[in-house]
Structure 1
Amino acid sequence: MSGSAAHGSSSAPQAAVYACRWRRDSVRAPDELVDYWVKKKDNTSSSMGEREASAHPSRRPMGIPTFNGVVYPSQTDAMGHMTVQYYIAAFDQAMWHLVSRLGYDPEWRNSRDEGWADVRYEIDFRSELRVGDLYTVESEVIDLGRTSLKSKHRLVARSGELAAELLMTSVYFHLKERKSISIPDAVRSGVRALTESSGATNVSA
């Protein structure tokens, strides 16, 4: 998304789960987003892995496909697997496709000075990807506020094994005034249609 960052470091072995949290200091989250995270503290204090320990992560389908990729040699590190910054890049591109599917027009960046700013990432790395591995990112909407959208993305290898999953919070953003603004009705309608088609009942649009 607009201005999102990438970090370079080695990913975790398959047996370990690392939580990586990153905050955009250059963008101030709106008051309602801060309040949201305070209210959700109990739910976000544990990792996604702990919250979904009863489900087999490599077998549970979810969301819609938003990005396809392949691991190139230049995307690996000294450990021989895809480095963290390319997981972030895949999730970032997936988010653009998700909001486009929801009704956001990328041309609005120019015609309306409206875009998105990511303010929170919570990532669990599940397994390694190596050179030549194909993967897909699947995405879904978890929550929708007045100015913020929370989404979940799963990066899945061609084998069906879960490689990483991300909880992302993004704020709808005025690119000239540099402040959060209300999410357009067109996007809200898209969220409603997507959640209804998937059978989700926990998202209010």
Structure 2
Amino acid sequence: MQAAATYRGTVYPWQCDHVGHMNIMWYVGKFDEANWNLFARIGLTPGYLRNSGRGMAGVQQNISYRSELFAGDIVEVTSELLEIGTTSIRFRHEMRNAEIGEVAASCELTAVHLDRAAHRSVAFDEPVRRAAASLLAAAKLAGA
């Protein structure tokens, strides 16, 4: 999948720590909001998750911090799907200062598709797998 915008927002003063830059908890929060926009693009919408008894759970998250963000900065997160397995999905986010284009942080995550009642992983439904495969194929063609 080619990187697509999955979050846009602003750094608020109350999101900054004692040294004046956005605290790491807010990087994680903004990446989390991007997760749900990316999931919706492949059919893992709030309605689907509520109605099917399914859920998503992060099992690994690696963040690299590259530059600081300050109160008032405009933030954009782009995301790309890297891999979809039977029950898991791996993807990457890149957070930029939208005004100057500088990368502030990147994050690679692995999440698992869950049966909420059974509290265990479950295979993705076929429409989700097809949508994810389509995004991966488009990215491969764009990179060729």
TM-score bracket, normalised by the shorter chain, equals: over 0.9
Instruction: Show CA shifts across 1:36-90 (max 9, x none).
Output: xxxxxxxxxxxxxxxxxxxxxxxxxx51110001000010000100000110011
1:192 is aligned to 133
**What TM-score, normalized to structure 2?**
0.92
Superposition RMSD on alpha carbons, in Å?
Answer: 1.6
Q: Greater strand share, 1 or 2?
A: 2
Distance (Å, rounded) in 1 between the aligned partners of 2:79 and 2:89 = 13
Q: 1:74 to 1:200 in 2, by over 3 A?
A: farther
Identity, % of aligned positions: 33
Distance (Å, rounded) in 1 between the aligned partners of 2:115 and 2:48 = 10
**What TM-score, normalized to structure 1?**
0.66
Q: Greater helix share, 1 or 2?
A: 2
| Count of aligned pairs | 141
5+ long unaligned stretches in structure 1:
1-61
Q: 1:107 Cα deviation (Å)?
A: 1.3
1:124 aligns with 2:64: yes
Contact residue 172 and residue 183 of structure 1 kept, 8 A: yes
Contact residue 83 and residue 136 of structure 2 kept, 8 A: no
SS in 1 for 2:110: strand
Q: 1:151 Cα deviation (Å)?
A: 0.4
Distance (Å, rounded) in 1 between the aligned partners of 2:83 and 2:31 = 17
Q: 1:96 Cα deviation (Å)?
A: 0.5
Distance (Å, rounded) in 2 between the aligned partners of 1:201 and 1:151 = 17
Distance (Å, rounded) in 1 between the aligned partners of 2:125 and 2:141 = 21
Q: 1:74 to 1:142 in 2, by over 3 A?
A: same
Distance (Å, rounded) in 2 between the aligned partners of 1:74 and 1:200 = 43
Aligned mate of 2:113, from 169, 172, 193: 172
5+ long unaligned stretches in structure 2:
none
2:50 is aligned to 110
1:67 aligns with 2:7: yes
